[in-house]
Amino acid sequence: MLKVLITTVPFGDKNTLPLEILEKNNIEFLINPLNKKLTEDELVELVSDFDVIIAGTEPITKKVMNRASNLQMISRVGIGLDSVNLLAAKDSGITVSYTPDAPAPAVAELTVGMMLTLLRSVHVSNSQMHLGDWHRYFGRRLSEVTIGIIGVGEIGQGVLEHLTGFGSPKILVNDISIKDKIQDRYNVEWADKEEIYKQSDIVTLHLPLTAETKNMITESHLLSMKTDAIIINTSRGGIINEDDLYKVMQSGHLSGAAIDVFDNEPYDGDLNKIERCLLTAHMGSMSIDCRTRMEIEATEEAVRFLTGKTLKGLVPEEEYEVQRQGL
């Protein structure tokens, strides 16, 4: 019998359809028995008998693949591929697919929610109210600030779309290349990253984690931002140097930060000590509809692979090239 290892959790909690799809196709499956994000060594202990991994952000390394003698396919629940060694997969003849569109609406909405929360100090007021402190904070409205968006793929464009409903904030954007359709549809200005850091009241990141973006934002970049600026990361941990962010915020620079993704998860670092730093547990994609769509798409792709049908979410060659070039 074909066997699938589901490493990402939760899975099938809000909608059991992905599990029903596997059962209908007589595919045996095991859901991560540790019920947490697995380490490389924990994966090595689990993978040996499985044909497919339906994966989250666990480190699927060459070591893991070498142990997984039956592994033919990795079906990634989500968009990020930094946790999968694509080159090792190719060398081992392992197919990799992903669900790049499914999480975008939820991540974009959370990002805008974080903007509003930070601009109005909602998170700080909430924590103080629970301690019995009453303090009314002045804040700013989205239409009155300059917003810098670094990365305007599906999620960045979703953020842009939501911002059209908040008056006319000045929006600066940056990406690997200028996208004409964005220029035509939205009132934006293209700028280099350094200008975005200097000019923006809010900087929000929507980038993959690559060798090029690892520690892209360090102490000097954060200090180049306005004293009362805000930085948001709902993309990938490791793009902002967390130690540098703590040091800069501890000094009083930046009015706030919102971080949903971390170098090591679960996170238990110094940013916990900064009240005006809003921390969430990598929950950008965790709206019920988007998470369910991600799980269903990844499961359907696994079934298509195991039944010899055409795949819909194959990882494109350019993603392999990014890892090949160490970008």
The residues annotated with a catalytic role in the active site are 236, 265, 282
Alpha carbon separation from 99 to 1, 137, 247, 293, 297 (Å, rounded): 26, 41, 36, 9, 7
Measured torsion, CA atoms of residues 44, 309, 10, 94, in degrees rounded to the nearest 10: 20
Distance CA 101, CA 107 (A): 11
Distance CA 21, CA 60 (A): 24
For residue 73, give the amino acid letter. M
Distance CA 85, CA 222 (A): 31
Among the listed residues 298, 290, 294, 233, the one whose alpha carbon sits nearest the alpha carbon of residue 267? 233
Distance CA 156, CA 136 (A): 32
Tokens representing 117 are 């929360």
Taking the mean position of all CA atoms in its chain, how far away is CA 326? 20
DSSP track, 3-20: EEEE-SSS-SSS--HHHH
Where does the chain show beta strands of DSSP type E? 3-6, 28-31, 52-55, 73-76, 95-97, 146-150, 170-174, 188-190, 202-205, 230-233, 256-259, 277-279
Q: Which residue has the tokens 């049908």?
A: 309
Angle, nearest 10°, between helix axes 104-119 and 122-130?
A: 70
